[in-house]
Structure 1
């Protein structure tokens, strides 16, 4: 008998399993070993601090972000009073799973099949990777942290089969030497409809390697060709390819994260990837933590409404950021003309400072009302075409 069975061993599932084990719950985590999610790998300082990530997991510290427009205009944004940490999911996810096991979680390798309820007993059924046999685990509660196309969400939570998403694809390449087009201390974000008609492309350094990729929610776009074109445009076409990966990334948080009975969703399964930026690691780990908090409360009190704590705690802190980023994506990602204006807006020093202060601290900065007013007026001028798309 387990108190909780966690489905999925990515950053969200591993965080939930670790937190529950440290709080004294008997927890099992089921993960499909060998799968590496396509991910730029960016993590803010707050994640490193909140989740006690050791320096060995940070493969690069980025001090500049370069925004590239459809006309190839570049805006370099210095990251003041901080940095963007980079992790490699191939190693980072394993580290988190190992840490959950060290905390006392039982880590199992296999594929979730179904959730059975009979005579007040609840069982998670999964297929063991080594034996190929079905295994049943009795549990009181399940946390679904099994990605944007979550089988747990589809089976158990209303709306779980209708999560909107983009498809992300990237190639991990052997990093070249520093050059005019590649800087191991700089993240490049490419807002160009030729690379992605509705999202963006990226070149993110990972120390000895780099992630080059793009995302789109439009069917028919050739992701591999777009990434190949991006590599040529960035002077990276001759770098050795280490691996290729693709996966869906959700676009907005689900309206419900629990089934009102015995299931809580976390991470991508709950839709917690930031709009506009596509940032997911930090929000996944927060999602795992609040899911563990809700699970612990439910196990202690037996109150069904405590399952709702996961979403309530998450949205209390991050709803405003998601709302602003969603509005930004809807306003600026719809055409190259809008993307050109967005990069122009990024020239503004106040935009740069407020953006990265919010990124590093994971909250909207309200300390400078005049800066917010100026940004709002410039934003309005661009959206109403009162100024040229190339005007700063």
Structure 2
């Protein structure tokens, strides 16, 4: 009998398992072997601090973000006073799972099948030899990613969550390509690459991640990525790995089943709109799920499982709402994307955007800057001002 059974060993599940084990609970952590999630791999300073990420896992330190418009114009935004760390998900996720095991979590390798309930709750799973097993537990945490089998089976609304498909290729980092900078993330807003999201070129030390995402059926993700590589001067780089996966677009309205289970991470839909950022929010969601599970184990009250969503949305809900509004406003057409990248020229926009990104909270101390941004944003959306440029990288 375990106190908690965590399904899914990505950043969310591994964080939940570690927190529960550190709190003295008997924890099982079930994960499928060998899967690497497609991911740009960016983690902000707050994630490094909150979750004690060691420096050896950071394969690149990014100090500039380049926003590229449909016309090919670019705005370089310096990351002042810090950096964004880039991690490789295969080594990063395994580190988190091993850290949970060091605290006492029992690692299991296999595939979730279902949950059965009688006198006790039992998680039914298939191990790597094909044998079906049943493990009793007091509480379950579903952290099995977007299109979660746990959410679909257990939580109202778990079948309807919208998502985009992300695809990327891991390539050998180029040598002598003038357009590539190993300390810069490039974000490409171009309907020819993605009609409703964006493409990216993210450095990872000896490798790089090049990819795009879309929620529109029929888009050829591989061809779009090939086009992006060609436009970025990366077509001749060796391709080391190709990966694709869904990314949820909004948090579920409910994360628990009202009985003995709570969701976390992508399974709960906690990927930031507009940016698609997921690692920090997955780990924060895992910590919130662990906190709710601890409360449930202490009191036996099913309503305590609601704490996970309440805690997470209290801290991050407004950021998600603002990012969703931005995506809805600017990702509709190339004309809107052109205006969005033009707006990024504004120093107030740059400063407030990265203050919010680095610290994961909206900046409230500069009301005049917020007012100026609001007016400029409205003027761009209404077409009152035309996009203005002073050259590439300006």
TM-score, scaled to structure 2: 0.98
Distance (Å, rounded) in 2 between the aligned partners of 1:218 and 1:388: 29
- After TM superposition, give the deviation of residue 366 of structure 1 in Å: 1.1
Task: Report SS of the residue matched to 2:282.
Answer: helix
Task: Report SS of the residue matched to 2:332.
Answer: coil
| Structure 1 pair 186–391 and aligned structure 2 pair: CA distance change class (3 A) | closer
Distance (Å, rounded) in 2 between the aligned partners of 1:336 and 1:90: 35
Note if contact 2:177-2:233 (Cα within 8 Å) is conserved in structure 1: no
Aligned ranges 1:1-392 → 2 under 5 Å: 1-118=1-118, 120-129=119-128, 131-177=129-175, 179-390=177-388
- After TM superposition, give the deviation of residue 342 of structure 1 in Å: 0.2
Residue deviations 1:234-270, cap 9 Å, x none?
A: 0000001110100000000000000000110000000
Note if contact 2:73-2:389 (Cα within 8 Å) is conserved in structure 1: no
- After TM superposition, give the deviation of residue 391 of structure 1 in Å: 6.3
| Structure 1 pair 180–51 and aligned structure 2 pair: CA distance change class (3 A) | same
- After TM superposition, give the deviation of residue 214 of structure 1 in Å: 0.2
| Structure 1 pair 137–36 and aligned structure 2 pair: CA distance change class (3 A) | same
Distance (Å, rounded) in 2 between the aligned partners of 1:296 and 1:351: 40
Residue deviations 1:97-121, cap 9 Å, x none?
A: 1111111000000000000001x21
Note if contact 1:337-1:389 (Cα within 8 Å) is conserved in structure 2: no
Task: Report SS of the residue matched to 1:59.
Answer: strand
Residue deviations 1:146-182, cap 9 Å, x none?
A: 0111000000000000010000000000001254200
| Structure 1 pair 178–205 and aligned structure 2 pair: CA distance change class (3 A) | farther
What is the aligned length?
Answer: 390
TM-score, scaled to structure 1: 0.99
| Structure 1, unpaired ranges of 5+ | none
